[in-house]
Structure 1
Amino acid sequence: MKYFHLIWAALFRRKTRTTLTLLSVLAAFLLFGLLDAVRVAFNSGSDAAGVDRMVVSSKYSIIQGLPQSLIARVEAVPGVKNVTWSNWFGGYYQDRKNQMVNIAISPRQFEVYPEMIVPPDQLKAFESTRTGALVGEALAKRWGWKIGDKIPISGAIYPNKATGDTNWTFDLVGMFHVKDEKLRGMEQQLFFRWDYFDEANSYGQHEVGWLVIQVADPNKSDQVAKAIDAISANSDHETKTQTEQAFNLSFAKQLGDIGLIVSAIMGAVFFTLLLLTGNTMAQAVRERIPELATLKTMGFSDKTVLGLVFGEAILLVVIGGVLGLGLASILLPVISSASGGMLQLPPVVAGTWVTGLLMMIGIGVLVGLLPALRAMRLNIVDALAGR
């Protein structure tokens, strides 16, 4: 810290160039903070995942159905407290851009998911209305829906026997909400009755997409999972029982390897940043060759000059990087809130900060290496002579 004032003065010698470089570094680490939050969100699975719940799905593909007859057999497994089942519908509202989570559910959905709260009279209306639908309050607010509305949903997979196409109409009979702000994304779902779906769709009757089981003793969940999978062993519908986190990740991986995508983007960003800041430091040192020669003339050692240039390069990246990650910390809750719960992005975690700081120092060292070596090896006579 003895020569910090010299490093600071040299860094802001060209204020415009330094400011633009800082903004570039800030943008790179802002993107790093946001993308790493996405990676953490995908890798942590759904916040709604409970330790006492597991998902039973096809061993081969999440889009392959399971026979309805499997439900009773799973219910009979020792340690299983409750079972609900669902089918992914994959529809949109009015326009293909308006994709949403819409799922055909069994009557036990809200027993297994007590965090989703439905008024008793609305739940009763859902159970007695064949075409009834329940939506999360956030989704209803998003589209201005109210109880009593008819909601047209265009599917992408299942044709409706009544219409001969993939257009379905549901009667909105109720809304559900969650108390925990972290689970607000669950309110972005539309549920309708599985029995109606099973009767009305043109193919795949008496099949369920997946089962969600409640385990009486979470400590025995592994034993229960093995017992369930043993039921369908060596059949044409072998199952894979896994935690909700793992099941949610299997959905995410349909989009691709999120970690690889994030790494590829950040690799391109930081490679560009390396070239940009490297060029900035090279120019800064080249312009100050007479000044550096003067410092050596005054008694500054080669190692001290080396340290000054390294310090300048590292300080440049660290300032921009800390500002970028700090801005990401501010923006992440704003983005989550603005999405109405659709995006539940975690804050910038300690691991991200540690990784970010190590990257800042590493980039600073890399971009400062050649200019610092040039400054250290500077010949005083040649530098002052302009050679």
Structure 2
Amino acid sequence: MKFLHLLWANLQRKRLRTWLTLASIVVAFLLFGILQTMRAALTGGADLAGVDRLVTIHKVSLIQSLPQSYLNRVRGVEGVRVAMSHDWFGGVYQEDRNQVVAMTADPNLFFEVYPEYPLPEEQRAAWRADRTGAIVGKIIAERFGWKLGDTIPLRSNIYTKADGGNVWDLKIVGIFDATNGDNNSVYFQYDYLNESRAFGRDQIGWIVMRINDTNRSAEIARTVDALFANSSTETKTSTEKAFVQGFANQMGNIGAIVTAVASAVFFTMLLVIANTMGQSVRERTNELAVMKTLGFSSFQVTAMVLAEALLITLLGAVIGLAIAALAATGLAKAMQQFFPTLGMPSDTYVIGALVAVGLGTLAGALPCAQAWQLKIVDALRKA
């Protein structure tokens, strides 16, 4: 652009003001990038959910258990291909800060329910054969240096044993690397937990089932819940995506929160940029008049004013989102045990670019109108 040097020179006229405005824009887009990252981390698990899986929980709350006998009744529902139960273990490894996502599962059915979890057949067979066996995700195995054959003591912050202890020794018999799943979890046999826990015997946490026809998911869910209607333990069945999303919704509507905070930040930035551009145009009224005298059209002068607003906004957006991306990478490594899907979504860059263009355009609208309507004689008289 042949007028780029003029744009840059105008922005450097009041360097302190320009740099402070740029810094404000950088911080705004940095905050936007971090908010988008946390939104994706809190809700991203739903994107990994299987479209052909349903989850049945206690109607009152997830923390309420279900009778183990419910499992066979669910398996008998037409349209259910396979079903198994999970129990939340609440694992801690060595120290309280080493929280582990540990759950029970049925090794004979786990890979039918979750086909996206690859594991060599010999490791699957080892899990089925060893009552104390466990399979672990690649991420958590690398984090703690676990290897095949290691026996790890996992402490539960929920269950206690009949002998008063709360540590279960698990032998790692498999390490999975799911292409579209959580590689930060531990799964071990339900029977191993059930036979030794002091309370909750023959109870299960929730049921996960794969169905034959996703178009019938609502119908099958109603059928399952009807089996236990008016009983002492009624159920609520939903898609796995809705089940996962329910965890995030316990903290509120994450999307609405992010939108509200980002809107407030960007509205403030709109006022800041508009004020900067307004001051800049007022200070250069006589110069703009001289440019028109020299042959610059009203369109060219107005376009330059708008380009200044867009330049500083886009520059701040690029720097802010770049820093946010670096921060997201660091957060992903530091918090992978809590947020296995943490990372800045790719659509953040597109949204950020659109927001930056919109901010620059709106902030430059009034100064552009002033530049367009500027009368040469009136401007030079004021000078």
Per-residue deviation at 1:360?
Answer: 1.7
1:158 is matched by which residue type in structure 2? Y
Per-residue deviation at 1:213?
Answer: 0.8
Using the size of structure 1 for normalisation, the TM-score is: 0.82
SS in 2 for 1:187: coil
List runs of 5+ in structure 1 lacking aligned partners: none
Q: CA separation of 1:346/1:242 partners in 2, compared to 1, >3 Å: closer, same or farther?
A: farther
What is the alpha-carbon root mean square deviation over aligned residues?
Answer: 3.5
Matched, 1:189 2:185: yes
Q: CA separation of 1:21/1:52 partners in 2, compared to 1, >3 Å: closer, same or farther?
A: same
Matched, 1:172 2:168: no
Per-residue deviation at 1:85?
Answer: 0.6
Q: Which has the higher mean CA deviation after the structures are superposed, 250-259 or 283-292? A: 283-292
Matched, 1:244 2:240: yes
Which one of the candidate residues 263, 275, 289 is aligned to 2:285?
Answer: 289
List runs of 5+ in structure 2 lacking aligned partners: none
Equivalence for 1:348: 346
Q: Which has the higher mean CA deviation after the structures are superposed, 151-160 or 75-84? A: 151-160
Paired residues of 1:293 and 1:379 also in contact (CA < 8 A): yes
How far apart in 2 are the matches of 1:216 and 1:376?
Answer: 65
Matched, 1:60 2:56: no
Q: CA separation of 1:299/1:48 partners in 2, compared to 1, >3 Å: closer, same or farther?
A: closer
How far apart in 1 are the matches of 2:251 and 2:154?
Answer: 23
1:61-101, CA deviations, whole angstroms, 9 ceiling, x for partnerless residues? 22222221111111111121111110112232233332221
Equivalence for 1:111: 112
1:235 is matched by which residue type in structure 2? S
1:256-278, CA deviations, whole angstroms, 9 ceiling, x for partnerless residues? 32113322432343244334433
Matched, 1:137 2:138: yes
Aligned residues: 380
Paired residues of 2:154 and 2:170 also in contact (CA < 8 A): no
Per-residue deviation at 1:210?
Answer: 1.1
Per-residue deviation at 1:244?
Answer: 1.7
1:318-357, CA deviations, whole angstroms, 9 ceiling, x for partnerless residues? 33324544666687678657848823547413xx455333
How far apart in 1 are the matches of 2:46 and 2:328?
Answer: 17
Q: CA separation of 1:97/1:258 partners in 2, compared to 1, >3 Å: closer, same or farther?
A: farther
Paired residues of 1:232 and 1:239 also in contact (CA < 8 A): yes
Paired residues of 1:148 and 1:171 also in contact (CA < 8 A): no
How far apart in 2 are the matches of 1:354 and 1:94?
Answer: 43
Equivalence for 1:202: 198
Using the size of structure 2 for normalisation, the TM-score is: 0.82
Q: CA separation of 1:154/1:370 partners in 2, compared to 1, >3 Å: closer, same or farther?
A: farther
How far apart in 1 are the matches of 2:173 and 2:301?
Answer: 72
Per-residue deviation at 1:211?
Answer: 0.8
Per-residue deviation at 1:143?
Answer: 0.7
Q: Map 1:32-181 onto structure 2 (within 5 A).
A: 32-40=32-40, 42-43=42-43, 45-107=45-107, 108-163=109-164, 167-178=166-177, 180=179
SS in 1 for 2:117: coil
Equivalence for 2:254: 258
1:176 is matched by which residue type in structure 2? I
How many percent identity over aligned positions?
44
SS in 1 for 2:99: coil
